[in-house]
Amino acid sequence: MPEGDTIFRAAQTLHRALAGSIVTRFESVFPALNRIDHDRPLAGRTIESVSARGKHLLMAFSGDLVLRTHLRMHGSWHIYRPGERWQRSAQDMRIIVQTSRFVAVGFNVPIAELLTSRDLSRHKELQAIGQDLLAATFDVDEVIRRLRAHDGDAIGDALLNQRIVAGIGNVFKSEILFITRTDPFQAVSALSDDDLRRIVDESRRQLNANVLTRSQTLSPAFGRRTTRSLDPSAKLWVYSRGGKPCRICGRPIQARKTGLDARLTYWCPQCQPSRSG
């Protein structure tokens, strides 16, 4: 699943390309979108903004319509000039939003719906999202409160829960817990408020750093870096490095599937010791 920095940058890129322009073509494979487009055509509307809310992309059109998309594991948005050859197969196209200058194509987008502002205010999934790590109004105390409500969860699983805090995916989860020297399988209850604040602060620092330093591309994997190393082969501390030596102590990095989705967690048992012994 794309991480918060990827969604945030995608929203920025789409906003720069599309905001203020008039839709000249809208196309979708989703029947529900097409029914709304038939009754309330998107063509002719102005794209007012594109923003991120957690891992949701919200494209707002004049006349009180908002396109919500969630990319899940394999979805992506691409920007092309009219007539430019797509980098993905047309069979993967799910949504097209075209203006006179650009064509935004949603490939393999699994979730999409058109909503009014009233719908947005009542949307259960959107309203349940925790504090967005990249939001200017971020409240660390609220995140700690929500973490405490999940005291029995492993901290690694809790960080992936978008209802607790929005924006962390599997890569950043492993990296943040390594940087803060936290055992990913430690229960939240075993960590102090200071520990949790340190983890949350590092999460916010890492996501913001990757938004600011990475090239403006919609690719979810391009250039993510947590080590500050300029070596292109040393971008990450532990993620996807199972069996390789820890960059700090040399002990082999471990990997284990955890949580309901059996997602891989990477950690160094030497640098991230369990407090339970």
To the query of whether residue 55 is one of the catalytic residues in this protein, the response is: yes
Chain length of the chain:
277
Angle at alpha carbon of residue 123, lines to 142 and 2, rounded to 5°: 70
Of 146, 198, 247, 263, which one is the catalytic site residue?
Answer: 263
Active site residue 263: yes
Number of helices followed by number of strands (H, E) in the chain:
8, 12
Point out the catalytic residue in the list 9, 55, 225, 241.
55
What is the C-alpha to C-alpha distance for residues 218 and 222, in angstroms, rounded to an integer?
9
* Angle (nearest 5°) at CA 69 between 67 and 75: 140
Catalytic residue among 2, 68, 184, 224: 2
In three-state secondary structure terms, 215 is: coil
The encoded tokens of residue 42 equal 């998107």
DSSP three-state, residue 87 = coil
Which segments within 119-212 are labelled E, that is strand? 131-132, 165-166
Reference 52, options 171, 218, 209, 226; nearest CA is 218
Catalytic residue among 3, 175, 224, 225: 3
CA distance 100 to 115: 24
Residue entry with tokens 């999460």? 203
Active site residues: 2-3, 55, 263
